[in-house]
Amino acid sequence: MKNEFWTGRLSLQVQSEPAQSFSASFELKGKPERGELTLISPLGNVLSVLRWSPGEAELDSGSQKIQRFASIDELMAQATGAALPLNALFAWLQGDNASVSGWSADLSRRGEGRISAKRIQPTPQADLRVVLDQ
């Protein structure tokens, strides 16, 4: 059976003007079609919870009302500064080097719980790093 729950840390650097950087601990559960990503600060506070299912996606930032989006890509862009390829991320976590347009993944250290991926297109370039809890 495939894993449907991961924890660890992720960071995302976006080469925009000005450059954006995002880093948080995370809990990811579910599948590309339906799931939940909880982002947690270094102090253990929940920063936001992203939930998605077919045809809807929502961002719960706690203090604000829940924001709704037409797609998980729009939601990820709002939450992290770049539209992360969620389908590919699930595949990468499973060890499948899924290709996605504009992104290049490095799974060579997945056995150590480390995954990295770079977005070359579209600009701005982005660098994603994931370190899984062992």
For 47-93, what is each residue's pLDDT tens digit? 999 999 998 999 998 777 899 998 888 888 887 777 788 889 999 99
- For the segment 9-34, what is each residue's pLDDT rounded down to a tens digit? 999 998 888 888 889 999 999 999 99
Pairing of strands 67-69, 20-30: unpaired
Q: Which of 32, 29, 8, 27 is nearest to 116 (CA)?
A: 8
Q: What is the DSSP string of 17-55?
A: SS-EEEEEEEEEEE-SSSEEEEEE-TTS-EEEEEEEETT
The predicted pLDDT at position 91 comes to 93
Q: Which of 90, 91, 37, 32 is nearest to 59 (CA)?
A: 37
Beta bridge mates, 46: 40
Residue 34 CB neighbour total at 10 angstroms? 13
Structure confidence at residue 122 as a pLDDT band (50, 70, 90): confident
What percent of the chain lies above the pLDDT cut of 70? 99
Q: What's the average model confidence in pLDDT over 33-41?
A: 94
The predicted pLDDT at position 105 comes to 96
Candidates 2.50.20.10, 2.30.30.100, 3.40.50.970, 2.60.40.1120; correct CATH number of 5-132? 2.50.20.10
Domain segments of the chain as ranges: 5-132
**Structural element, H or E, at residue 67:** strand 67-69
> Is-contact 54 34, C-beta < 8 A?
yes
The predicted pLDDT at position 2 comes to 67
Q: Is the pLDDT of residue 1 over 70?
A: no
